[in-house]
Amino acid sequence: EGTATVIDGKAVAKKIRDEITIEVSRMKESIGVVPGLAVILVGDRKDSATYVRNKKKACDSVGIKSFEVCLAEDSSEEEVLRSVSGFNDDPSVHGILVQLPLPSHMDEQNILNAVSIEKDVDGFHPLNIGRLAMRGRKPLFVPCTPKGCIELLHRYNIGIKGKRAVVIGRSNIVGMPAALLLQREDATVTIIHSRTKNPEEITREADIIISAVGQANMVRGSWIKPGAVIIDVGINPVEDSSAARGYRLVGDICYEEASKVASAITPVPGGVGPMTIAMLLSNTFTSAKRIHNFQ
């Protein structure tokens, strides 16, 4: 009975932040430019406010300047578009992020389309996604969470080329771009979604599984081929009376079972989660480098 290597996303994310800190200060010293990230938050969702706060903290920790606009829940789409356009034109801003989800009276597509693709650090602009999907094209930015998944594989020297990869979930922000990235890395990719029949027969063929579903402990040990590598994006609250808040967070993968079958696995929390913000910082720095032609 094996015990999987724990893929320590928290440690890798810290290493990446340290690398960015050094690069950011080198940039400031040599050309006097400080990378800037602008975040637009609309409405008063608690989880969104927490994400925005964490992003700001992360920026501070590496020396990236952060700009924040908070708009009321009942703001008009025009007001959001005005903020976007202000940041598009602001030379001290190199990355623009519109915190999702937006209030339901707004057209998300319209707003994401308005972000300058040169500053689209979330990688959600259809031009960036389109280029990600096309052979021979290069997106300016890749969405942060799937990029973080691939970065973990790279940093643990886990080969992707020629492997069978299965992505569970096909959302625009995680599953779909994760599948495109794996394919760009020469994996043979299968996507499982809510209409897939007998998903466990498909996952059992996989050398690499990336799961982004949002269902606690859905993937059991018996779904996994011995020696497979498991990247668990899911963040799901489950009741736990022994926890201070009355709940704890688990992934889509039943960790207890999977860690006995897999060769490597990300924990939840402490796996993909910290990588997402690290990739956002990395995208923002890359953007500043590109805009100022800094090597």
Annotated catalytic residues are 55, 99, 122
Residue 153: CB atoms within 10 Å: 23
The rounded Cα 224 to chain-centroid distance in angstroms is 24
Give the nearest distance from C-beta 275 to ligand NDP in angstroms.
7
Residue closest to ligand NDP when measured from CB atoms? 171
Q: Name the one residue in this structure whose structure tokens are 């599984």.
A: 209
Amino acid symbol at 223: W
Residue 179: CB atoms within 10 Å: 23
CA distances from 211 to 175, 231, 290 (A): 8, 6, 32
Token pair of 107 as six digits: 């057209």
Euclidean distance between CA atoms 224 and 245, whole angstroms: 32
Euclidean distance between CA atoms 206 and 229, whole angstroms: 9
Handedness of CA 262, 188, 212, 266 (dihedral sign): positive
Give the nearest distance from C-beta 269 to ligand NDP in angstroms.
9
Select 106 or 210, whichever has its Cβ closest to ligand NDP: 210
Select 117 or 173, whichever has its Cβ closest to ligand NDP: 173
Binding site for ligand NDP (CB under 6 A): 145, 168-171, 173-175, 192-196, 199, 212-215, 218, 233-236, 272-273, 276
Give the nearest distance from C-beta 217 to ligand NDP in angstroms.
12
Select 48 or 196, whichever has its Cβ closest to ligand NDP: 196
Select 50 or 76, whichever has its Cβ closest to ligand NDP: 50
Read out DSSP for 187-236? -EEEEE-TT-S-HHHHHTT-SEEEE----TT-B-GGGS-TT-EEEE---E
Give the nearest distance from C-beta 287 to ligand NDP in angstroms.
20
Give the nearest distance from C-beta 247 to ligand NDP in angstroms.
14
Main-chain phi, psi angles of 173, to 5 degrees: -90, -25
Residue 167: CB atoms within 10 Å: 32
Q: Is 60 exposed, middle or buried (0-12, 13-18, 19+ CB in 10 A)?
A: exposed
Buried b (16+ CB within 10 A) or exposed e, 128-139: bbebbeeeeeeb
Select 139 or 234, whichever has its Cβ closest to ligand NDP: 234
Euclidean distance between CA atoms 177 and 169, whole angstroms: 10
Select 85 or 171, whichever has its Cβ closest to ligand NDP: 171
Q: Which residues share a beta bridge with 65?
A: 36
Give the nearest distance from C-beta 147 to ligand NDP in angstroms.
11
